Amino acid sequence: MAVISRRPVTSSLRGQQYISSKDLTKKDPEKSLLKPLPKKAGRNAYGRITVRHRGGGAKRKYRIIDFKRFYRDVPGTIKSIEYDPNRNVPIALIVYKNGAKGYILCPEGVFIGAELLASDTAEAKPGNSMALKNIPVGFFIHNIELFPGRGGVVSRSAGTSAQLMAKEGNYAILKMPSSEVRKVSLDCFATVGVLSNADKKNINLGKAGRARHMGFRPSVRGMAMNPIDHPHGGGEGRSKSGSHPVTPWGKSCKGMRTRRKKKDSLIIKRRKK
């Protein structure tokens, strides 16, 4: 998918970029695979804001994605490639031989009419899903399970993939998108290929209104606040307050590691700082 720049007819269009939709083949989603998606606006069950700068935005419906590849050993055909407002990667509608339908994340190299299969006997080609023990070493994979049968949770964003580095005993050694190297059970399923829409990271919203349509509200810098409102606030003129960057509640950020110190025996090499 190509990145398209707008003609600078107005100042807000200067520098604005968006992803071409010419690869998408269907505008309306499959009704049987939709469900309501109520707005949360960053609030929890008690109505308190737990995620700041969220609210508003265009209405959406949730597309039910088959992260588990539920229909095993049943071939399916790609009928359409669609836009999903809830994620940055396109989704593909797959119709199985038994009449069932499902959405999967669309990898590069998958086209309309392609026949895909989730099986231990499947060919290792983009879009096919199988256990890690049956995927050749060196292949790039996505939608990776960390526990057998629970569904894929790793590498589900646009343009991402993990690489199968080796197999040792009952574990596969994967290099994750974060550069972390870890062990995953060989019985876990993953899908072959790299997810499409890698150019998503290159777009430029161009104006505040596009961010508001996506459900993001304005964010005020701590430096621009008063001392009562933020640890960075106050001071004469522009002041960094002479401390490491912290959150409004005083917790270090921008580089501070937030993982638990408990050692994970399955992690071979930590991700880069």
* Span between the terminal Cα atoms of the chain, in Å: 31
* Domain ranges within the chain, ordered by starting residue: 19-197, 220-273
Q: How far apart are the C-alpha atoms of 112 and 23, rounded to whole Å?
A: 10
pLDDT over 80 at 130, yes or no: yes
| pLDDT at residue number 270 | 82
Rounded to the nearest 5°, which phi and psi values hold at 200? -55, -35
Which tokens go with 149? 């049968």
Tell me if the domain spanning 19-197 has CATH number 2.40.50.140: yes
- Token pair in block for residue 65: 């994605």
pTM of the model: 0.84
Average confidence score pLDDT of the chain: 88
10-35 pLDDT tens trace: 888 888 888 888 888 877 888 999 99
Residues constituting the chain: 273
Please check whether the domain covering 220-273 is classified as CATH 3.30.1360.120. Answer: no
- Tell me whether residue 233 is exposed, middle or buried, using C-beta atoms within 10 angstroms of its C-beta: 0 to 12, 13 to 18, 19 or more: middle
Whether the pLDDT of residue 169 is over 70: the answer is: yes
pLDDT, tens digit (0-9, with 9 covering 90-100), for 192-226: 999 988 888 888 898 899 999 999 999 998 888 99
Among 88, 127, 86, smallest CA distance to 106 is for 127
| Beta strand residue intervals within 66-223, DSSP E | 76-82, 91-96, 101-105, 115-116, 129-131, 140-142, 162-168, 171-175, 181-185, 189-192
